[in-house]
A = this chain, B = another copy of it.
Amino acid sequence: MTTIKDVAKHAQVSVATVSRVLNNNGYVNEDTKKKVVRSIKELNYKPNAVARSLFKKESKTIGLIIPDIMNPFFPELARVVEDVMNKRGYTVILCNSDANPEKEAHYLDILKRKYVDGVMIVTNTLEQDHIKEWELPLVGLDRPLEHTVPSVYSDNIHGACLAVSHLKEIGCHHIAHIQGPLTIANAKQRYQGYKQEIEKNDSFQEDLVVPGEYQWQTAEAAAISLLKNHPYVDGIFAGNDVMAFGVIKAAIKTGRKIPEDLQLIGFDNIFMSEMMHPSLTTISQPIDEMGKKASELLLSLIKGNASVEFPKPFKATLKKRSSTLQV
């Protein structure tokens, strides 16, 4: 490992001078600058990031805490975030919390000790008190957070309304909902949106709502028994795409054709939803934009912009595919 001292020696200047040309600050004579640059090249010198971190109390690193990278929603997010961060010279540490508060705390602890410059987090449980202790640039993702920390998420209620109203539009009269875990804010909101939109015409029917745990296996089972108990159901709004995939299986197993017998809308628009058969009509979250926005927010916070914008919820949009009839 070659250090700044080696370069200084080689260029016959002091480390200070080398440091100056390295960081482009302070005055430095053009000729000596050239000398230094040459030495740097010749020795293939790369400044040591750790030493730099220690001094500057920053690491050009951020933490990304998500429940589980295996959940298909997150790779897309992670990719966007990593991309923009990388472009800006940051590196990202991946943390899978399993939505476990202790794990979250654990990661936050470690990240802080590594001088990460900020963290992006997807969490349901974030206690006000703890947040303040951090004094660390922090932005929430996918779900609204405490009022002290900006968060990037989409308008789930609106999205759910969109889904249900579209189902109504295309002729569904008995619309069921496969619901995510109510411990997760967006699942609750999607349920709310569903209920709200249903109640505009019909009376809300509680037994048309079944829990699917945001997983396709559970959703499949739930949908099967739903369809058995309520054979007249002709439309389903699934709380996310993965559960919608379960519904597709359920439909096949109970002998229904999608969309002819049963129309289906998911939520998220993860990239597999187009790949399914039938391809899935869904409420599309602008994951790319959201990831970019979150990254920019965090970067801005890191740069020191104390009071940073609290972005409005992103609008989710209806993405029509083959699991619903065309109007």
Contacts and interface: CB of A to CB of B under 8 A. Distances in A.
A105 B206 CA distance: 57
Nearest to A113: B49
| Secondary structure dominating the interface of A | helix
A41 to B, nearest CB: 15
B94 A78 contact: yes
Q: How large is the interface on A (under 10, 10 to 19, 20 to 34, 35 or more residues)?
A: 35 or more
A113 B48 contact: yes
A82 B70 contact: no
Interface stretch (A13-21, A174-182, A184-192, A269-277): A269-277
- How many copies of the polypeptide does the oligomer hold? 2
A91 B110 contact: yes
B70 A69 contact: no
A181 to B, nearest CB: 19
Interface in A193-213: none
A114 interface: yes
Interface string A19-54: 000000000000000000000000000111111011
B50 A115 contact: yes
A109 interface: yes
B114 A91 contact: yes
A295 to B, nearest CB: 14
A68 B80 CA distance: 11
A61 interface: yes
A214 interface: no
Given A54-B54, A92-B94, 5 more contacts: A46-B112, A48-B115, A51-B54, A78-B94, A83-B96
The 3 closest A-B pairs by CB, nearest first: A49-B113, A94-B94, A49-B114
